[in-house]
Structure 1
Amino acid sequence: MADLQDDPDTALIAVGGLDDPGPSPDKAPKTRPESGAQTLEQARELLAAHPIADGYSGVAQALRESVLYDLEAGEGLLETDIPRLRDGGVGAQFWSLHVPLELTGDRAVAASLEQLDLVRSLVESWPEGLRLALGADDLADARNCGRIACVLGPVAGPALGDSLGTLRAYYALGVRSVTIAGTRWTQRTGLTPFGHQVVREMNRLGMLVDLSGCTPETMRRTLVVTNAPAVISHHPTPVPDDVLRQLRANGGVCMVACTESSIREAADRLDHVRTTAGPQSTALTGAYDTGTPHAPGLGDVSCFPRLISELLTRGWSEPDIAALTWSNVARVLRDADFVARATKSRRPPSVARLLPPLDA
């Protein structure tokens, strides 16, 4: 088992997952379907066995602005509803709690908490379709019961209010991921000392560190500091290759969005991440209901099978697709929980504080 020491300058740590590490990326499938119709059908069959764990959905904020929307029936106003999630082979989603960028300070905290409360109410309102998930075991339970698992997060870093107490409160309410970009403690050149404390406290809690939106320098430094796998759920530009290799050593996951200009380009990006970071560090994110344009043919959550079909034509094996769609995300959640259990026994909650700016 990997060392779990706290020194941020320690060599990169790969946390040992409990899942099978996955096959080699060049392993070919046993059979090669002969037509698009055949590969699409095969894709649907694969997703029935290995559903999508979608790394980032904006449906929570969209529903907050559309209070009369029926998520169970669906009306086409959004890119997500329960019937289309089932059609798309989606078994789990991370429901982003990000709020508009113009909200800062206490307003950002309040808006994030209101959105969190809305999500929990929505999940309770549709128990036949949705189930709240607080970890990898809950993902599996929801899948076994035919429900779609909803993971709370990420919360935006600025909505922590520079407070580790607020971070702990979010965790107690069920949040399992935080995007650390855009804060006073993540700088263009890396992390401040308080930023180190935030990352370590997230490790202690079992909360995923999401590097989306961070500069490459901040990504690199965070991957040295964290003792648990990190994720990149919705980064707007391609992640540098050296960061992908560092993420592989960390045991983390880069989630590739369906927001390229074509299905082929989305598959090209998946091929690149898989080759550079490895099949065990590659996953998917829909980024639906975020206002981001999607490739033709990938316009809503029901369209994931088309992307999987394209990957099949490129020779992706069933084990690699299973890792991409489900097992890599489940492993990262499980490893984060393992690190938390190992850390809590020897480190109390941090009492570090960030001083207010001089012009406050």
Structure 2
Amino acid sequence: MSEPEPPSDPALLPDPLRRARALLAAHPVADGYSGLPWALRELPWCDLELGDSGVDSDLPRLRAGGVGAQFWSVHVPESLSGDRALGATLEQLDLIKHVVDDHPEGLRLARTASEAVDARHCGRIATLIGPARGAAIGDSPATLRALHDLGLCSLTLSGTSWAGPEGLSPFGEEVVRELNRLGVLPDLSGASEATAQRVLTLSRAPALFVSSGARALRDAPGNLSDALLTAIGEAKALCLVPLAAEQTGSSIREVADHLDHVRRLAGPECVGLSGMYDTPATHPEGLADSSRYPHLVAELIERDWPEEDLARLTWGNVQRALRGADFTARATRERRQQRQAAAG
């Protein structure tokens, strides 16, 4: 069902919604998960510039929703493994670059916090590539490095032989160190508690949970225990709450309840948003497409979230994670160069 159109005159908007739109103009949404690349594979044709009913995230709706950046997932079906998973991932990477190139007035590729800010200042929506499934790299750090060279910003660790129910294997720990060295953010969505806790301890860069609500409010796959949410706060990681009815409920109020819960346990600097648009997920009523973010922010304004916390939720916390990944990568390379210089 389509959402009602907002009044064309901003003065006619309810005060919380008017305030939400003003806040998003200054602090746009950095959306942690979009399934648009896979959705575009399934369509014979799509007009992102003028708008297309075949997707949830065309450019008019992204602009109406105050979206300033999106992570475009290169996840592939779990039925694919080995070379087939890698091949499908490479195809999606290629598709993303073609789509961005075809829409230079609306989109710009980014892989760092500064590039995302530059895109925003130029009136473009920053497109960050990832997460990809860990299965795409197999047991090869070289494949991970090659995907990074192609622009990958985040890698999901779950669903691999080296990040299982018992935690990380020695190779899995090496993958996390290599992610840190490259500046690729580890994504722990769907990971076991043991894996998540180990990565939070091991990783020098912030880890992401790109689609995780609060298990205390809804016992759904992918949602996190209160103990893990507390650990996220201690590690200064980032929990991106999904706009997905299965995980966070069927209404805007229920999604806001999850945001309240994560903010209380992990802290306001450790919570963000994942739209989950253009995925099979069913969206809560009132959040049917990417134009509806102002309505969620208005709900939080009515709950007396301070503007500083709202700015962190929408833009600042993802920026912090990207800066942390970049800083860790630079520091790791500098230490390696110093060791090599000393050995030589």
Q: Normalising by structure 1, what TM-score?
A: 0.85
* Partners of 1:51 and 1:91 within 8 A in 2: yes
* Partners of 1:36 and 1:309 within 8 A in 2: no
Which residue of 1 is the match for residue 5 of structure 2?
none
Give yes or no for the alignment of 1:341 onto 2:330.
Answer: yes
Residue deviations 1:107-126, cap 9 Å, x none?
00000000000001100100
Match of 1:197 among 162, 168, 174: 174
Which residue of 2 is the match for residue 10 of structure 1?
none
Residue deviations 1:211-243, cap 9 Å, x none?
001011110111111111101001343211221
Task: Name the one with the larger helix percent.
Answer: 2
Which residue of 2 is the match for residue 87 of structure 1?
64
Q: Which portions of structure 1, spanning 4 or more consecutive aligned residues, are displaced by more than 6 angstroms?
A: none
Which residue of 2 is the match for residue 162 of structure 1?
139
How far apart, CA to CA, are the structure 2 residues paired with 1:107 and 1:238?
Answer: 29
Which residue of 1 is the match for residue 200 of structure 2?
223
Give yes or no for the alignment of 1:251 onto 2:236.
Answer: yes
The structure whose RCO (Cα within 8 Å, separation 6+) is larger is: 1
How far apart, CA to CA, are the structure 1 residues paired with 2:179 and 2:73?
Answer: 17
> In structure 2, what residue type is equivalent to 1:321?
L
How far apart, CA to CA, are the structure 2 residues paired with 1:125 and 1:252?
Answer: 34
SS of 2:145's partner is helix
**CA displacement at 1:67 relative to structure 2:** 3.9
**CA displacement at 1:137 relative to structure 2:** 0.3
How far apart, CA to CA, are the structure 2 residues paired with 1:141 and 1:81?
Answer: 21
Give yes or no for the alignment of 1:261 onto 2:256.
Answer: no
**CA displacement at 1:37 relative to structure 2:** 1.3
SS of 2:227's partner is helix
Match of 1:327 among 313, 316, 328: 316
* Partners of 2:148 and 2:182 within 8 A in 1: yes
* Partners of 2:200 and 2:237 within 8 A in 1: no
Residue deviations 1:58-97, cap 9 Å, x none?
0010011114111111221111100000000000000000
> In structure 2, what residue type is equivalent to 1:255?
L
How far apart, CA to CA, are the structure 2 residues paired with 1:36 and 1:243?
Answer: 39
Which residue of 1 is the match for residue 223 of structure 2?
238
**CA displacement at 1:36 relative to structure 2:** 7.9
Match of 1:125 among 84, 96, 102: 102
Give yes or no for the alignment of 1:105 onto 2:90.
Answer: no
How far apart, CA to CA, are the structure 1 residues paired with 2:40 and 2:154?
Answer: 20
> In structure 1, what residue type is equivalent to 2:312?
A
Match of 1:318 among 307, 319, 331: 307
Which residue of 2 is the match for residue 211 of structure 1?
188
Match of 1:273 among 240, 262, 267: 262
Residue deviations 1:14-69, cap 9 Å, x none?
xxxxxxxxxxxxxxxxxxxxx98111111111101100000000001001111411
* Partners of 1:270 and 1:282 within 8 A in 2: yes
Count the aligned residue pairs.
Answer: 314
Task: Name stretches of at least 5 consecutive residues in structure 2 with no aligned partner.
Answer: 1-11, 213-220, 338-344
Which residue of 2 is the match for residue 12 of structure 1?
none
Which residue of 2 is the match for residue 4 of structure 1?
none
Fraction of identical pairs, as percent: 53
Task: Name stretches of at least 5 consecutive residues in structure 1 with no aligned partner.
Answer: 1-34, 349-360
How far apart, CA to CA, are the structure 1 residues paired with 2:74 and 2:44?
Answer: 16
How far apart, CA to CA, are the structure 1 residues paired with 2:319 and 2:52?
Answer: 31
How far apart, CA to CA, are the structure 1 residues paired with 2:312 and 2:153?
Answer: 21
> In structure 2, what residue type is equivalent to 1:84?
R
Which residue of 2 is the match for residue 30 of structure 1?
none
Match of 2:16 among 39, 43, 48: 39
How far apart, CA to CA, are the structure 2 residues paired with 1:186 and 1:277?
Answer: 23
RMSD: 1.3
Q: Normalising by structure 2, what TM-score?
A: 0.89
> In structure 1, what residue type is equivalent to 2:231?
Q
